[in-house]
């Protein structure tokens, strides 16, 4: 079973995404914010990471940059799940190494589809 690390600073968002992905058959690890996400990604080596883009202290872009610079985590696919819904935001995220981009509020189908797209 594949493992997904979900990163958000809002507990209700974490809970909802965890419900969507766990009912789709994935193991779930939760991180409340970017700093926690870095540590959990390094220690757990998830198959993919779903991260909010706008979080205090360390946002999803910073998480992406730090993980891509670390050889131990550089190959983990990252999915942005964010309220930023402009095409320029999506293109910027993809240029930073994000493999898929989902806008909030997302449906279960959208999120599961994005995860399947990046890890099969």
Q: List pLDDT tens digits, range 5-30.
A: 999 999 999 999 999 999 999 999 99
CA angle 106, 112, 113 (to 5 degrees): 95
Q: State how many domains the chain has.
A: 1
**85 three-class SS:** coil
| pTM, entire model | 0.94
Full residue range of the structural domain in which residue 90 is found: 3-119
- pLDDT digit of tens for each residue in the chain (120 aa)? 999 999 999 999 999 999 999 999 999 999 999 999 999 999 999 999 999 999 999 998 899 999 999 999 999 999 999 888 888 988 988 888 899 999 998 999 999 999 999 997
Closest by CA position to 50, among listed 105, 107, 101:
101
The CATH number linked to 109 is 3.40.50.2300
């Amino acid at each position: 079973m594949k493992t997904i690390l979900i990163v958000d600073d809002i507990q209700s968002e974490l809970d909802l995404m965890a419900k969507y992905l766990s009912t789709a058959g994935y193991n779930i690890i939760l991180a409340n914010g970017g700093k926690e996400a870095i540590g959990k990604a390094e220690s757990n080596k998830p198959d993919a990471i779903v991260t909010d883009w706008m979080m205090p202290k360390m946002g999803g872009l910073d998480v992406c940059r730090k993980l891509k610079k670390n050889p131990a985590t550089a190959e983990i696919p990252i999915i942005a799940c964010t309220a930023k819904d402009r095409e320029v935001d999506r293109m910027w995220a993809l240029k930073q190494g994000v493999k898929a981009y989902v806008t909030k509020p997302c449906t279960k189908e959208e999120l599961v589809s994005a995860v399947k797209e990046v890890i099969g």
